[in-house]
Structure 1
Amino acid sequence: MLGIIGIIVIFVMVFGGYLAAGGKMSIILKSLPFEFMMIGGAGTGAFLISNDGAGAKSTIKDLGKVFKGVKWKHSDYRDMLCLLFELIRLARQNPVGLEEHIEAPETSSIFTRYPKILSDKEAVALICDTLRSASMNYDDPHQVEEVLEKRMEANLHHAMHGSHAMQSLADGLPALGIVAAVLGVIKTMASIDQPPEVLGKLIGGALVGTFLGVFLAYGLMGPFAAKVQSVVEEDSHFYGLIRVVLVANLHNHSTNICIEVGRQNTPSHSRPSFSELEEALKDVKTEAA
């Protein structure tokens, strides 16, 4: 919602200020389709050259994050702590019984109680792979923590591709605007014998290219890239929560302590309160009984 509001504010303030100062939209509207064709087309071509198919699809998909915001909300962090509580408790009480849940999470009676988490393949894989490794006696907390850290860094690097691609496009748009403006000047010079009012309109149309390139770069694509980066970094805390809880489990802390370590490592705006989490865990214990 804030993304839409921001775009509206940008357009209203820029073009509203232009009109309030006595500017005429006719010159801009007449030149805009041709300038946008040159700048937008060249930008799209450059984007396709600098990205493979998967990267292009990922970047286009990431545009939705500008308007949707972060994926993981306050309730999702609470649910993740409850899920990890159930799995860790089962792993200590009945290690054999844990296998059916981590080998087939899509049919697990534990995972299916948290459908949003279950739908995220990376979160589920992170949990299952780590618990499976522990059951195979790969349980050195420091080694596991290092492996998880590298895995999360790789995932974050990949998730940032869309933001970097958008920022690269934003960096190139002003220069493409200048290209369009130069072509407009060339067109104007070919009509140098025309009266001043005609030349004025031609020069104004040429300058629309410079305006459009800068406007798209700093008014839209740059903020889009920054927003996507912010959302990706914020969502990465969710996977960090999984890491700290599972590493705490390998240090043989009690189940409640493992969950409390995770709660305290949750970002403050998403962190469930101690009493809220206690109530949620009581409900989990009641359902399990």
Structure 2
Amino acid sequence: MLLIVGSVVVVLSVIGGFLLSHGNLLTLWQPYEILIIGGAAFGAFLTANPGKVVKAAGRGMRDLLRGERYARQDYVDLLSLMYDVLVKMRKEGMMSLEEHVDNPRQSALFNAYPRLAGDTPLIEFITDCLRLMVGGNMNPHELEHLLDVELETHEHEAQLPAHALAKLADSLPGFGIVAAVLGIVTTMASIGGDTAEIGRHVAGALVGTFLGILLSYGFVGPISAAIEHRAQEDGKAYACVKIALLSALRGYNPQVSIEFARKTLSSKARPSFQDLEAHLKGQR
């Protein structure tokens, strides 16, 4: 929602200010300038990035329109799921989790939380961690190092679309200058002709510079930053799982381990201690 509101504010501010200064709105309609800037920028974006990053950038912009990936209730479910896992591990031993880890789609433990069960990357991260604990006989320090490496890789991949769009935003003013230079070339070819026609060519050239800067700082740059913020926020769920499992491996009881995990969440999405406690008691 904020993405749409912010974009509308940018458009209204720029166009409104132009109209209030007695500008002619039709002067800004320069389809050939748009073609030069948009086409060249898109082509450069395809050249600079592998296919998976291009697709991820498209998904990232789509996801911004859908709102937050994990709401407060999702984190309550995640903490509850980790609590169930840790309780089962403590009461029945590590090997009791083997069937759930090998086939999470058929696991009653995971399917008790349908929304999380449909989040394949997160479930795979949880089961991979548990598989290491079940079959690896690892101490907390070894597991922590492995999880840190995996989370760094996950964060790097999640940030790639944002970095790619940021570079695209940096290039847009340059493509605006390209469009402006081509407009000046056309203008120079019209020297000696009708003065009004020369004025239109000069206006079109200047609009090219204007569009490149506006697209860069008003739209693509902010979208890049929004995708980066979202990726950082989504990574909190993985950090939450990591802390819960490491705390349990260090010998803390499930309730304390879940409290450590809860502390990793941002204040906006973090359920309160009382709410989580009441939720867990309700389940029991």
Contact 2:37 / 2:212 at 8 angstroms: preserved in 1? yes
Stretches (4+) displaced over 6 A: none
CA distance in structure 2 between the partners assigned to 1:229 and 1:163 by the alignment: 5
> Is residue 172 from structure 1 mapped to residue 164 from structure 2 by the alignment?
no
| Aligned match of 1:11 | 11
SS at match of 2:138: coil
The superposition leaves residues 112-156 of structure 1 with CA deviations (integer Å, 9 ceiling, x where unpaired) of 121221122221122112222212242310110111011001011
RMSD over aligned CA atoms reads: 1.2
Contact 1:181 / 1:208 at 8 angstroms: preserved in 2? yes
**What aligned pairs does 1:137-148 form with structure 2 within 5 A after superposition?**
137-148=136-147
**Distance apart, 1:92 and its partner CA:** 1.8
| Aligned match of 1:28 | 28
Q: Percent identity?
A: 37
With structure 2 as the length reference, what TM-score do the two structures score? Answer: 0.96
The superposition leaves residues 245-266 of structure 1 with CA deviations (integer Å, 9 ceiling, x where unpaired) of 0000110111111111112222
With structure 1 as the length reference, what TM-score do the two structures score? Answer: 0.95
Q: 1:55 to 1:258 in 2, by over 3 A?
A: same
Q: Single out whichever of 138-147 and 37-46 deviates more from structure 2.
A: 138-147
> Is residue 39 from structure 1 mapped to residue 37 from structure 2 by the alignment?
yes
Contact 1:181 / 1:207 at 8 angstroms: preserved in 2? yes
The superposition leaves residues 138-188 of structure 1 with CA deviations (integer Å, 9 ceiling, x where unpaired) of 231011011101100101100111101111110000000000000000000
SS at match of 2:8: helix
> Is residue 282 from structure 1 mapped to residue 281 from structure 2 by the alignment?
yes
Unmatched segments (≥5 aa) in structure 1 = none
| Aligned match of 2:50 | 52
Q: Single out whichever of 123-132 and 15-24 deviates more from structure 2.
A: 123-132
**Distance apart, 1:279 and its partner CA:** 1.3
Contact 1:65 / 1:231 at 8 angstroms: preserved in 2? no
User: 1:79 aligned to 77, 80, 89, which one?
Assistant: 77
Q: Single out whichever of 131-140 and 176-185 deviates more from structure 2.
A: 131-140
SS at match of 1:110: helix
Contact 1:48 / 1:56 at 8 angstroms: preserved in 2? yes
| Aligned match of 1:273 | 272
CA distance in structure 2 between the partners assigned to 1:47 and 1:263 by the alignment: 39
> Is residue 69 from structure 1 mapped to residue 67 from structure 2 by the alignment?
yes
The structure showing larger relative contact order (alpha-carbon pairs under 8 Å, at least 6 residues apart) is: 1
| Aligned match of 1:200 | 199
